[in-house]
Structure formats: structure tokens, C-alpha cells
Amino acid sequence: MKKDKLFAEFFRNNGVVLGSILFFLVAFWIVFLILLPQISMLNYSLHPNPINLDAGEFADDYTLKNYKYLIFGPEGASDAFNKVDLMVFVRTIIAAMAVTVMNLFLCYPLAYFLGQSKGTGFVRLLVVMLIVPYWINEILRAFALRIIFGDVGVINGLMMQMGLIDQPYDFINADIALYAGLGYAYILLMLFPMYNVIESLDRNQIEAARDMGASWIRIHRRVVIPHAKPGIASGMTMVFMLSAGALAAPQVLGGTSSLWFTQLVYQWFNDTLNWQQGAAYAIVLLIASIAIVLTFMKIFKVNMGDIGK
Amino acid sequence: MSSGVDVNLENIWIKFGDFVAVREANVNINGGDFFSFLGPSGCGKTTILRAVSGFLNPSEGRVLIGGKDMAGLGPNKRPTALIFQNLALFPLMKVWENITFSMEVSGASAGERRKRADELLDMIALPGQGDKLPSELSGGQKQRVAIARALCAQPDVLLLDEPLSALDLKLRQHMRTELREIQQRVGITFIYITHDQGEALTMSDSVAVMRAGIIDQIGDGHAVYDTPATPFVASFVGENNVFRGKISAINGDEATIATNRSGELLSKITPAAVGKLNVGDDAMMFVRPEVLKMQEGDAKTTISAKVLNEEFEGNSYSIYLEGEGGKQIKMAMPNLGNDPHKAKGDMVSFSYDASNAVVMPAGDLASE
């Protein structure tokens, strides 16, 4: 269908008034919630910081110095590269991938169980019980985990009482609390897309495979996982993107020596008041994350359209 | 291909909590037979099939395949292959991968599988279609792929759960013939589940008619159609006119029934009820629409009625009659080019052969 016809059809189906309202809302969403924030961030990142301009530099000059800074560090530094920040960046990406994979392995069996039990009352209750903790603020949940993983927390207490350890184990500095917190923060975004696609899988296909002698591993490898692929991709994308861009969990649960890249962005904005530098860092993280997601989608042959399902 | 093996169900009971889905089923299926379970939906026929295939265990009784007790063996360990009602082809696998899935499971190489798939595709008259996806095939082609997939595992028994129900009428009739041909070619035992009596009668060597978990009658198509064992079978399989009344006289294998509205009528006693009827018993007599003749006969086999309506169905006429007391009777006549047209409201007398009618103790009719 041609585009102008599509619009004519749209207004004929919805009427002029309702059609205009819907049209306006969609336009508002796209312009104010998607385009403008990103464009203004990009714009910021391409300008120098007005409070410490170099000689001969003006605040509305376009410059790549903010990006240069992330890669090469301050001019005249002893290292050729900005090792500290780059290491934080790489570590953040790898850790976000690890969190994503960990969530995948945790959620797949659960999603399979929920999806194949055909919405009985018990299953619905289970789903509600999974959602209820998310009515609590993300930061409060992170603090709850910090208490649980703390030196005098439940886990250390139990392990010491059972005689497994003599000294409390430092979960915070070992980053275990951080991974647990990040995994926990976004686990439902992994679970629900998978649950939805697995629920739509015809049970007879599993029985047919079983009837033909397939083992459970083969049934999952050949029947369930190919069917669930869009849901898996959608869940992994969301968990990866959100973990890489998380701030609350790293702030609260991160060890003293470990920085999350978003914490650097936060510092540029909040502590140093260098929004231009922070914007450049944020843009780099965003583009890198998108590139990684697209690469993996290419490798596993997932279409963009599948993810939206 | 493997030759057919016997399947025996010995005193099978299947219960789900308090609900009894199958009650005391005893069925002996001969090797190489095409055997059908026929019944309305919810009568327990699919449950029986699942017990044979191993997807559920009977609460009591034994399933024997080729004389071996199947207790404790899962579906993957039984020499059966099941064709599902919705076929359950794997939508993301190509046709040839679908067909040879059982070989993939047993570790055959891709080359072997490809070769076997081509053989089977030839057998089901879909040569060269192996690289398509199931979604690219028509309903009848998918059907045949499902059959090929089940046969690929070389089962001793093929189980079919209403596989034709999703097809349109023409294709269904065509697939009946084709299924029967395939069965005779491969020579293995087929167990077929259906609610369509036409399918059961045309394809089967033997039919078990089921009602609410109970097997009412087992026999070949003729036995089930001509000499039904119970009122349910008489009314479920094909069309029937039912006359209720009390037995007034018994003479060998014939009985006279004092019907409620149509006077005294003579009928053969159905074989299953011989010796079980006594004078004065509540009874039901069944006469098929097509055995009624538009001519007068003996007093005890002649009924008079008023013509209500006539329907032309191409190969036959259906004539709807109203007897005394509003008794509805249907009569069917083949279209031989001589329109038997009667005006509405005409009074007619028609008769039947007592050997074409069956009488049996009163009981539940199929609700339709």
C-alpha cells in the first residue's frame, strides 16, 4: 500500500478527530521522547565545556575533543591512552553480557515451565508473585540486596553458622552482590518475552518429537529453542541494554574498586558539571551497545521485526 | 516395512480424579488391520489412543502390542507412531527434516536422511518438495507429510488422531482412499480415531463405537451399521428412525413391538439382544430411511403418514413424514430420474422388510 493511501485509510477508519489525536500522540512520542533527547545529547557531546574553554575556543564551537578524551585521556598525560576509563568501559560491556547470559540460563527453565503449564491458577499466582517485588523502588531493592549480602547479612550469617566460613565473605568487593543485583533488576524483562513465545508453542510438537524418540535436550534444541528465538533475543537485548546502562545497582552494590561506565557518566554530569564530556561518554556507550546487539542478532539470524513481537 | 502386529487392550480403565474417561475397555486388534474408534467428542477415544501411544498410563488394565506388555514404556520406547489432530509438523524445519526427524534422533547421517526423505516423498506423491517449509504446503500435502514422518520411524502400529478433521469435504474423501491405500501398501496396523462415521465405515476393517467412556460395539462396518448393538450405536452411526414401545410378542429372532404412536410393528431382534428381550420390556425399533419403500406391505410392516417436506440432495431425495401423533419419520430414495414427488399434506403408506429393521432394549440415544 502506498503511504498516502495508508494515511487516508487511517483517517477513514478512526475518524478525523480520533485520528488526529492518535497521530499527534505518536508524533509526540517520537519527537519528544525519542528524537529530541538523543539529538540534544549528541549536540552536547560535540561542544566544549563552557566553564573551562581552551584559549581561542568558543562555547558554540563544534569539536570532537570530548570523544578524544575518552580514548586518549587528558593532553600531556603519561599514558598514550585513557586506560582507566577504557578499562571501565570494556569491563562494563563484558559484565553486562555476563549478566545477560546468566539471566538467560536462569529464566529459560522457568519460562518453559510457566509457558507449558497452560495458565492454571497456580501458575498465575506464581507470575504475580514474581511481579510483586518490582512494585518496590529499584534503589530500595538494591539496598535490600546490599543488606542481604553484607558482612552481617543473612547469607554470611547462615554460612558462618553452618561452619562453612570463619570470616564474613566480602560479597560486595567480589562483585557478587553487583551481578546478583543487576540480574535481579532486569530478570523479568528476560522472563516475560520468553514465557510469551513458549506459551504459544503447540504442545503437540513437543509430544510429536517425544513420540519419535527425541531426548529432552534434542526437543529443546530442535523444537523449543528455535520457536522461542525471538523471545530469547528480545529478552537478551533488553537485559543487556539495561544492565550496561544501569546506575542504581552499581552505585549501591558495586565494590570500592569497581566502577560501572554509567558511574563515570554520572560523575561527569553531576560532580564535574561537564555535561558535554558526560554526553560523549553516554553516546559512546549507547552506540557500542546497539552495535553489539545488532552483531549478535546477525550471528544468530534474528530479524529486527521478530524482537518487536 | 514391518508387518502388522496385534494390539490388545485388556480391561483398560482410565480415570482422571473422579472422572472415568474410559471404562473397562477390552479390544483385540488384529495385526495389519485398519481399526477405528468412532464416537462423539469427549467419549474417551483420544484418551484410549494416548494410552496406546504411551502418553498416559491406564489406571487399570494392560496395553499389549505384539503380545508385549507396554506398562512403564514411554511413547519413545513403543513401536508406535502418532499422527496428531493438528499434525504437529515442525514449522521451522524443512519438509525433509520433518519427515526424517526420527532418523535424526537415532543419529543417521544427513545423506541417509535425505535419501530416505526422497523415497518417502515419492511414496506420498510429493517428489522434490523436500526443501519447502510446511507452511508452503497445502492442507492435503501437509497431511501426507505427517503420514510420511510417522512412517519413517518404521512403526509397527500407526496411531491417527482425527487427522482429516481440518480438511474440506472433497479432500477428506480423497484422503480416505489414500490412507486406506497407504495402509494396505505398508501392511502395518492402523488405529484411527474419528467422530465421522463415514470415515470409520469406508476405511476400517473393524470399528469400535464408543459412548461416554464405554465401548458399545466392536465389529466391521456392516455389523455396526446393519445390526447395531445398542440404541446409541443405532442412532450415532448413520441416520435412523426410532420407534419406542413395548415388546408384545417374540418369535425366534423376530419380535413384535407395540409402538407408542405407530401401532404394532414387526422387526428382527438385533443379534446382540437375542435372548435378552422379554414380552412387556421397553424396547426401541430402528428402521433406516433408505430401507423404507413407498408401497404398502404386510399390516405389521406398513406405516401411514402425511408428507411434510421433500428435499432434493442430488443423488437422493429425503422425504420427511409425519405419522400419527406427530411421529417424525424420514425416508430416503435414490434419484433414479423418476421424481417420486408427493405434494405436501399427501397421505402415503410405506413399508419395510422386517429383516431390515432391528429391535433392542430401550436405552440412550446419541444426542444430535
The 10s digit of each residue's pLDDT in A214-255 is 999 999 999 999 999 999 999 999 999 999 999 988 888 887
Give residue A102's Cα distance to chain centre: 13
AA identity, residue A76: G
Q: Is the model more confident about A127 or about A208? A: A208
What mean pLDDT comes out for the span B309-325?
88
pLDDT attached to residue A221: 94
| Percent of the residues in chain B that have a pLDDT greater than 70, as a whole number | 98
Asked if B105 is an interface residue toward chain A (Cβ–Cβ < 8 A), one would say yes
d(CA B81, nearest CA chain A) in Å: 7
Residue with cell 566553564: A51
d(CA A240, nearest CA chain B) in Å: 27
What mean pLDDT comes out for the span B307-313?
88
d(CA A202, nearest CA chain B) in Å: 7
Asked if B101 is an interface residue toward chain A (Cβ–Cβ < 8 A), one would say yes
B8 by DSSP, 3-state: which? strand
Report which of A173, A293, A180, A174 is spatially closest to residue A246, judged by C-alpha positions.
A180
B81 contact partners, CB below 8 Å, separation of at least 6: A211, A212, B102, B150, B151, B153, B155, B157, B158, B159
How long a stretch of residues is chain A?
309
Chain A positions in Cβ-Cβ contact with residue B92 (cut-off 8 Å): 226-227
DSSP state of A1: -
| Closest-approach residue (CA) in chain A for B88 | A205
What mean pLDDT comes out for the span B343-356?
89
pLDDT attached to residue B297: 85
Asked if A226 is an interface residue toward chain B (Cβ–Cβ < 8 A), one would say yes
CATH number assigned to the domain covering A80-308: 1.10.3720.10
Is pLDDT of A309 > 70?
A: no
Complex ipTM tops 0.90? no
B335 by DSSP, 3-state: which? coil
Find which of A210, A212, A303 to mutate to test the B interface (most B CBs within 10 Å of its CB). A212
Asked if A37 is an interface residue toward chain B (Cβ–Cβ < 8 A), one would say no
Beta-carbon separation of B102 and A213 below 8 A: yes
pLDDT digits (tens, 9 = 90+) for A35-93: 999 999 999 999 888 887 777 788 888 888 889 888 888 877 777 888 888 999 999 99
Beta-carbon separation of B75 and A208 below 8 A: no
d(CA A193, nearest CA chain B) in Å: 19
Beta-carbon separation of B101 and A209 below 8 A: yes
| Percent of the residues in chain B that have a pLDDT greater than 90, as a whole number | 61
Residue B308 has a CB neighbour count (10 Å cut-off) of 14
What mean pLDDT comes out for the span A167-186?
87
| Closest-approach residue (CA) in chain A for B105 | A214
Is pLDDT of B190 > 90?
A: yes
Is pLDDT of A295 > 90?
A: yes
Q: What gap in Å lies between CA B256 and CA A185, rounded to an integer?
A: 82
Alpha helices, DSSP H, located in A46-82: 65-72
Q: For the CA atoms of chain A, what is the radius of gyration?
A: 24
Q: What gap in Å lies between CA B87 and CA B175, rounded to an integer?
A: 14
Find which of B53, B73, B78, B84 to mutate to test the A interface (most A CBs within 10 Å of its CB). B84
Q: Which three cell numbers stand for residue B270?
A: 438385533
Chain A positions in Cβ-Cβ contact with residue B86 (cut-off 8 Å): 202, 204
CA–CA distances in Å: residue A242 to residues A102, A309, B154? 14, 19, 51
Is pLDDT of B277 > 80?
A: yes
Q: Exposed, middle or buried: residue B347 (CB in 10 Å: 0-12, 13-18, 19+)?
A: exposed
Beta-carbon separation of A207 and B88 below 8 A: yes
AA identity, residue A221: R
